[in-house]
């Protein structure tokens, strides 16, 4: 029987102030929240990650350990690391429609001359501005 194929490919931003291991942790969390990863899915092996993004194996181990401590993944000796808990909620049914609007907004922003950093800055400024109204409880 074949092992399940991982449905995530990690990308690191070398210009980010966020440590590489935390970028991996964040990408897994995001994939879980968006339903791209579900319970039973397998994360890429450390060897696969190292070969694709030229990262120190200890960095990947550290990320996977962090995810395991959070109860999101489980390492199975000789088999790999598997998703054991999701972060998706009932809002997932709205994701496709919202994603389409977001794609349109980003394309419009680029057409207006904004680069990716400016788009991110604009997005985060609005999220922060609306935070008190929409995020009273900041727990995961």
Q: Does domain 20-83 match CATH 3.40.920.10?
A: no
Q: What is the pLDDT of residues 23-62, one digit of tens each?
A: 999 999 999 999 999 999 999 999 999 999 989 999 999 9
Each domain of the chain, given as residue ranges in start order, spans 20-83, 90-134
Residue 79 φ/ψ, nearest 5 degrees:
-110, -40
Q: What is the pLDDT of residues 69-109, one digit of tens each?
A: 999 999 999 899 999 999 988 888 888 888 899 999 999 99
Q: What is the pLDDT of residues 105-124, one digit of tens each?
A: 999 999 999 999 999 899 98
Q: In angstroms, how far is the first alpha carbon of the chain from the final one?
A: 36
pLDDT at res. 33: 93
**78 is written with which tokens?**
């000789």
CB-based contact 38:6 (threshold 8 Å):
no
The CA-based dihedral angle spanning residues 15, 19, 24, 30, taken in that order and rounded to the nearest 10 degrees? -80
pLDDT at res. 2: 46
């Amino acid at each position: 029987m074949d092992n399940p194929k991982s449905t995530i490919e990690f990308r690191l931003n070398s210009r980010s102030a966020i440590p590489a291991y935390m970028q991996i942790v964040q990408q897994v969390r995001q994939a879980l929240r968006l339903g791209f990863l579900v319970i039973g899915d397998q994360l890429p092996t450390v060897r696969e990650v190292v070969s694709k993004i030229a990262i120190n194996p200890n960095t990947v181990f550290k990320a996977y350990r962090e995810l395991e401590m959070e109860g999101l993944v489980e390492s199975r000796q000789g088999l790999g690391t598997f998703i054991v808990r999701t972060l998706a909620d009932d809002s997932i049914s709205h994701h496709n429609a919202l994603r389409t609007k977001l794609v349109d907004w980003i394309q419009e922003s680029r057409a207006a001359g904004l680069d990716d950093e400016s788009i991110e800055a604009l997005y985060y400024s609005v999220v922060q501005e609306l935070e008190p109204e929409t995020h009273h409880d900041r727990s995961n």
